[in-house]
Chains A and B, each alone.
Chain A
């Protein structure tokens, strides 16, 4: 393939990737109810957003769920990542990866049946429990990749110098893999706050999150308020991902 043709098609694909997102952001500043013609610049849709109680409530729920889910899944995921690295357990990799490999809709519906079977009222708690379940694997992968980049002789040296296994872990291994753990936590936070499919099935009627709120607005009545919340959500995700990738470059790229 000639160089020019290659460069031209590359630019076209980048345009294809970014044009839709640029359009969403641009219309969030458009002084018109329709996502059609450019009328003029306005902050109006952001003001509408700030006085929309349902949206603010959903944002609060999303933050609460993402905080809880990322905290819990970081703890469980770090343990799983360490176990994957340290012990040769045959079924653990399958157990950790399976929830990431099968279609999300299947995870969503099976959790729905499960929560109903155990008589748990669908709401914030069921969403949190579900988010933890799919975040554990992602955190485990990030932590594990950080561990395999670590010099194994360091905790061994600590043991030779008389540290107990727990001391060697806490004083040597843990500080070394801390950036990986933080990156994993940020990743879990992002995945949780962005999740739509699994939340859709496990939310019931009681609780709404930002993606659920965006979904119902898209389905019922589209206004540029959706663009405004989308723009803010994109900025938040972008920020988190940039921070996470600084801390653990390979893991974010590998996803």
Chain B
């Protein structure tokens, strides 16, 4: 009894706080997606009163709206494509770096890992702003690129406010999330395996593709999950760098809440986003598990 009392005394306050400020708001958002929008933004009353009493004032209108216009599905598909491209290039960029760190002398490893994490601790907006400067029309980077393209007679291209700028910045902000799990995996590999492969006549390329790469698959899966999921909900990057062509689903959610003030539709979009992410993660986990068992 005394032990249970201590248990509730210690876990009670944080549980209560998270229930009030996380669980309940989430439930309210789910409910909001089935409500009508208020006349001046916000939400319409949940009960309607008339002669026969109170009625629940709920609707599937927001979900119908979502499926009635392909624009919304297209925005989801586009967000998915951005996330896939970002994840692919993160993997491509992070792998050599993670391998380099894992194979350097152990006294340098901590420092090299710290150098990957440090930029991640600078403010998110500052990192986006940095790309705004770098990709701006007056930047040295833009000038150099356009000078290079000019040689081939290709006209000056604009970099800022394009999908390219969005994806480049997404790769930049998500890169550490790919490097860290990859490094954690690669660091544990037994170097004797590579020596054995070499003794058996494998060249450098074969040693990588037939020993290192297959062993690193769990790290790759973890990195993909860490990079892919957060990208789906990002709105600040496309908001600042994307212009009108580069918007993602997060921008639409923000717009529904702060500008259009159609909260039920914004909530429905948020829920579709969550469900979509869960389906993708669940599907990927299922495939990974089957592969692990050797079914596929």
**Interface residues in chain A, defined as those with a beta carbon under 8 Å from any beta carbon in chain B:** 1-2, 5-7, 9-10, 13-14, 16-21, 23-24, 27, 34-37, 75-77, 79-80, 82-83, 86-87, 89, 92, 95-96, 98-99, 101-107, 109-114, 116-117, 129-130, 132-133, 136, 140, 165, 190, 194, 196-197, 200-201, 211, 214-215, 218-219, 222, 226, 230, 233-234, 237-238, 241, 245, 252-253
Contacts and interface: CB of A to CB of B under 8 A. Distances in A.
Given A9-B100, A106-B233, A83 B266 contact: no
Given A133-B21, A219-B240, 19 more contacts: A5-B96, A24-B129, A35-B138, A35-B139, A36-B136, A36-B138, A77-B14, A86-B7, A87-B10, A95-B23, A98-B22, A101-B229, A105-B234, A165-B6, A201-B258, A211-B124, A230-B129, A233-B123, A233-B126
A117 to B, nearest CB: 6
B192 interface: no
Interface stretch (B24-32, B57-65, B68-76): B24-32
A14 B19 CA distance: 41
B138 A196 contact: no
Contacts of B234: 103, 105
B181 to A, nearest CB: 11
A20 B232 contact: no
A139 B123 CA distance: 19
B17 interface: yes
B25 A105 contact: no
Contacts of B17: 76, 132-133, 136
Contacts of A101: 229
Given A197-B235, A226-B129, A87 B266 contact: no
Interface residues of B, number: 79
Given A129-B21, A136-B14, A105 B126 contact: no
B270 interface: yes
A140 B14 contact: yes
A92 B96 contact: no
Interface string B88-102: 000001101101110
Nearest to B136: A35
Nearest to B14: A80
Given A87-B7, A237-B123, A238-B118, A116 B42 contact: yes
B139 A105 contact: no
Contacts of B100: 6-7, 9-10
Secondary structure dominating the interface of A: helix
Contacts of A234: 122-123, 126
A24 B188 CA distance: 37
A196 B125 contact: yes
Contacts of A112: 257
Contacts of A98: 22
Q: Which A-B residue pairs are the 8 nearest by beta carbons?
A: A103-B233, A20-B130, A36-B138, A114-B25, A83-B11, A80-B14, A10-B100, A110-B25
Residue of A79, A110, A140, A233 most packed against chain B (CB within 10 A): A110
Contacts of A83: 7, 10-11, 14
A6 B103 contact: yes
Contacts of A6: 96, 99-100, 103
Interface string B1-43: 0000011001101110111011111101100100000000011
Contacts, number: 226
Contacts of B124: 194, 196-197, 211
A76 B14 contact: yes
A197 to B, nearest CB: 7
Contact of B22 (A20, A80, A87, A99): A99
Contacts of B103: 6
B130 A23 contact: yes
A109 B131 contact: no
A129 B20 CA distance: 10
Contacts of A226: 129
Given A2-B204, A196-B125, A201 B257 contact: yes
A218 B236 CA distance: 11
Contacts of B97: 9-10, 13-14
Given A7-B100, A9-B97, A20 B123 contact: no
B150 interface: no
B44 interface: no
B84 interface: no
